[in-house]
Amino acid sequence: MRPAPLKKLLVLAMLAPLSACISFGAKPPASLLTLTSASAVPAGQTQSSATSPTITVMVPAVGGALATQRVPVSQGETAIAYVKDALWVEPPARLFARLMADTVAAKTGRVVLSSAQSFADPGARLSGELRQFGVDAGGNQAVVVYDASLMRSPGHVIEKRRFMATAALPKVDAANVGIGLNQAANQVASDVADWVGK
């Protein structure tokens, strides 16, 4: 009856060296990138659709290069790489939509709704496509390009406009790219809020 525990110990001893070789995914970076709005509604301030117009801010559509948590680097007209160790905390389209919602609410006084909240009173509707949200290696800069579509009232005319902002990068690495894209994204969001608030 004693050989059974001995066999178990031998099997465990043989498997121990293999545990150092097994990996369940890439090693995560030391930190993840996010966006922080330069404009936000102060904590404690109440907004009401009874006294302010509403707007629904949709998560923008993205192409394949941005359908990831990595940061793309454009190298010429046809090549894309990704910044080493640079990962967003969540997909960049969602981060951008949240930043846009904060900025539009703060700068226009409108009540910003999510898609789930918009069924009763969608108000104006802001949607679009995030065309670029990464690095231009040739110009060594962060680039944000957003093609916006705005319907100021349900069932009426749709306005379209392209917004673009850049920020110089001293170096293309995770830390500098995060700062540069946050700056460019805030500039685009501010310009969009000015357009919405007309």
Domains of the chain: residue spans and CATH: 51-196 (3.40.50.10610)
Task: State pLDDT tens for residues 32-62.
Answer: 999 999 987 777 777 666 668 889 999 999 9
Q: Which amino acid is at 81?
A: A
Which residue, chain included where needed, has tokens 């509403």?
54
| Tens digit of each residue's pLDDT (9 = 90 or more) over 92-142 | 999 999 999 999 999 998 888 876 666 666 688 999 999 999 999 888 999
What's the predicted TM-score (pTM) here?
0.81
Please report, as a single letter, which amino acid is at residue 83: V
